[in-house]
Amino acid sequence: MKKVNIILTLLLILSCSKDEGNPNPSATSLIFPDNNQECNQGIDVSGTNRSTVTFRWSASAKTDSYDVFLKNLNTLSTISLSSLTTELAITIDKGTPYSWYVISKNMKVLETAQSETWKFYNAGDPIASYAPFPADLIAPAMASTLTGITSQNLSWSGSDIDNDIVSYDVYFDISNPPTALEGNTSSSNMDVTVAAGNTYYWRVVTKDSQGNNSQSEIFEFRVE
């Protein structure tokens, strides 16, 4: 029995030592602003069309600091700000869709951990219907190179606060920006014909039942 206790103690020590020897941070969980929702808790900035929103996320293990990445989905511009705590007040435009994620960092290592990416609409003047969020292009991955194919499935994901997306226009071309309409679909993917030696560009326009629309980023891929 004494030997068993000694062995268990040694295993516990080794387990703790192994855990302490891995200082890589863990990914945090986002809390607020809520995903795919309108944010109406911002504090108005007098004399501007902006409001200050306090972003919040959970504490993650082995983390010294956090970098918050915030993208304006209308302009596609991204800012990054650092925080030593699990919240950060940021002044942003009203009536504008955004996406955001948080990177957890540990000063002892280069390894980082990234949270999920959430989207929200920062409230402005009351409106009857919101435009859809720009579609997230999924595959092919940006700047990827594909070989030995004559067709490719384009896939994306769409979301809308009003949940009234009706269809997607897919633009696919060998010129940038793509202007050739490949087709319209109510699904979130489409097959396209490709040929070796070409670089292709594509984007998706999301449409809702109220006539609102939004444009995705432009992705490119090459076929060899």
Express each pLDDT in 23-74 by its tens digit.
899 999 999 999 999 999 999 999 999 999 999 999 999 999 999 999 999 9
HSE, CB side, 13 Å, CA atoms: give it for residue 101.
Answer: 9
Write the single-letter amino acid at 133: F
pLDDT at 3: 52
Cα–Cα–Cα angle for 194, 157, 216, rounded to 5 degrees: 70
Strands in the chain per DSSP E: 30-32, 37-39, 43-44, 50-57, 65-72, 78-83, 87-93, 96-105, 112-114, 118-122, 133-139, 144-146, 151-159, 165-173, 181-185, 189-193, 198-208, 213-215, 219-223
Q: Which neighbouring-strand residues pair with 79? A: 70
Whether 133-223 and 30-122 are alike in CATH topology: the answer is yes
- Only one residue has tokens 């997306």, namely 165
CATH homologous superfamily for the domain 133-223: Immunoglobulins (2.60.40.10)
Topology of domain 30-122, per CATH?
Answer: Immunoglobulin-like (2.60.40)
Q: What is the pLDDT along the chain (224 residues), one digit of tens a residue?
A: 555 454 444 455 444 444 456 789 999 999 999 999 999 999 999 999 999 999 999 999 999 999 999 999 999 999 999 999 999 999 999 999 999 999 999 999 999 999 999 999 999 888 778 999 999 999 999 999 999 999 999 999 999 999 999 999 999 999 999 999 999 999 999 999 999 999 999 999 999 999 999 999 999 999 99
Per-domain residue ranges for the chain?
A: 30-122, 133-223
Give yes or no for a contact between 93 and 138, defined as CB atoms under 8 angstroms apart: no
Q: Cα-flanking dihedrals φ and ψ of residue 199, to 5°?
A: -105, 130
The residue assigned the tokens 């808790």 is 41
